């Protein structure tokens, strides 16, 4: 699960990954931000309050390689 909200003073969308405690930020106007909003079906106005959802884009997905 992730929590995300829009910080108007810094003009960034802040994303917090609950299980790991890691954070990411997306700047206003970036293509990544538009893609994130579309994937989560929200607008920046709605993100002024803290939202909670699953990590639909895999921003905090761990990559692992399996060797045989």
Answer yes or no: is 57 within a domain. no
Answer yes or no: is 10 within a domain. yes
Answer yes or no: is 60 within a domain. no
Sequence-ordered strand ranges (E) for the chain: 2-7, 12-17, 23-27, 51-53
- Reported as a single tens digit per residue, the pLDDT across 45-58 is 999 999 999 999 99
Spatial neighbors of 51 by CB under 8 A, at least 6 apart, are 3, 4, 5, 40, 42
Number of domains in the chain: 1
Residues of the domain holding 46? 2-51
d(CA 50, CA 42) in angstroms, rounded, equals 12
- Reported as a single tens digit per residue, the pLDDT across 9-67 is 999 999 999 999 999 999 999 999 999 999 999 999 999 999 999 999 999 987 655 55
Joined tokens for residue 58: 């895999």
Its pTM stands at: 0.85
How crowded is residue 13: how many other Cβ atoms within 10 Å of its Cβ?
Answer: 22
* Collapsed DSSP state (helix, strand, coil) of residue 41: coil
């Amino acid at each position: 699960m992730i929590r995300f909200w829009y910080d108007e003073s810094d003009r960034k969308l802040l994303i917090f990954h609950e299980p790991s405690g890691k954070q990411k930020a997306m700047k206003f106007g970036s293509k990544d931000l538009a893609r994130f909003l579309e994937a989560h079906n929200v607008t920046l106005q709605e993100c002024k309050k803290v939202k909670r959802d699953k990590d639909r884009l895999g921003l905090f997905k761990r990559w692992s390689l399996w060797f045989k």
